[in-house]
Structure formats: C-alpha cells, structure tokens
C-alpha cells in the first residue's frame, strides 16, 4: 500500500509560481510511475504530467507544456510539480498518483494509477 500526501498548494497571482510536493510512505516509489492530475470546479479530472520510475521519461498535457516541470527524488520518496507562469485556468485541486506499469514509461491515463493522494488546492488570481 502506498500513501500519498500532497503539499505546496495555495493562492498565487497569475504569472506566479508554485511547487507542489507529493510525499509517499508505505513503499518505495522507485518502481512506480508518478503522475499529477487536476480537477477544476464543474470539470472532469484531467491529466497534467507524469514521470517514469527512473525519471528519464516525462509526459505533459499540452496545456502545461513549457510551464510545468515534473520531477522526482526516489531517495526522498517524493515527487514534485514545479508550476511557472500560472494562469487562471490552472486553478484546480491537484492530485498526485502512483502506478506500477510494466515498463519504465510515463502514463497519462488515470486508470493506470492505483494510489492517489487527497489533493491540494491551487488558486490563481488575476
């Protein structure tokens, strides 16, 4: 069982930056793909970014490409999401997730992730 806890959310002005963290306990994350998803009010949950268990491969939604960076520190059992140039549309609850694919790949489908955190709120104001 993997327990995930997100932190780092908050209120930021448009154009600002935030860094989200996802701390894991229960098992080492070194063999898990890590992903970030988000859900805005009235919208479905959507994929944001993913990183393979080695950290070599990353995958981003088009809406965040060039602005967000996903990373991981397997020694610290933590994943991160650096968010720059934030826009109003980035306002959402952000969730981290862990999955165990059969290969060292970054996945963008929520059904491929077995473990989820409770989320952290990110609010971007004008």
pLDDT digits (tens, 9 = 90+) for 85-114: 999 999 999 999 999 887 888 899 999 999
Looking at per-residue pLDDT, the higher value among 1 and 68 belongs to 68
Question: Which pLDDT belongs to residue 29?
Answer: 87
pLDDT digits (tens, 9 = 90+) for 5-34: 999 999 999 999 999 999 999 988 888 999
Other Cβ atoms closer than 10 A to 110: 16
Question: Which pLDDT belongs to residue 1?
Answer: 86
Mean pLDDT of 112-123: 97
């Amino acid at each position: 069982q993997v327990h995930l806890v997100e932190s780092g959310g908050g209120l930021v002005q448009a154009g600002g930056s935030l860094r989200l963290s996802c701390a894991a306990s229960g098992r080492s994350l070194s063999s898990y793909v890590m992903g970030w998803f988000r859900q805005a009010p009235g919208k479905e949950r959507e994929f944001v970014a993913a990183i393979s268990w080695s950290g070599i491969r990353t995958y981003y939604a088009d809406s965040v490409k060039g602005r967000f960076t996903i990373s991981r520190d397997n020694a610290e059992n933590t994943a991160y999401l650096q968010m720059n140039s934030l826009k109003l549309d980035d306002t959402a609850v952000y969730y981290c997730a862990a999955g165990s694919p059969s290969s060292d790949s970054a996945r963008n489908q929520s059904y491929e992730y077995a473990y989820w955190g409770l989320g952290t709120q990110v609010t971007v104001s004008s």
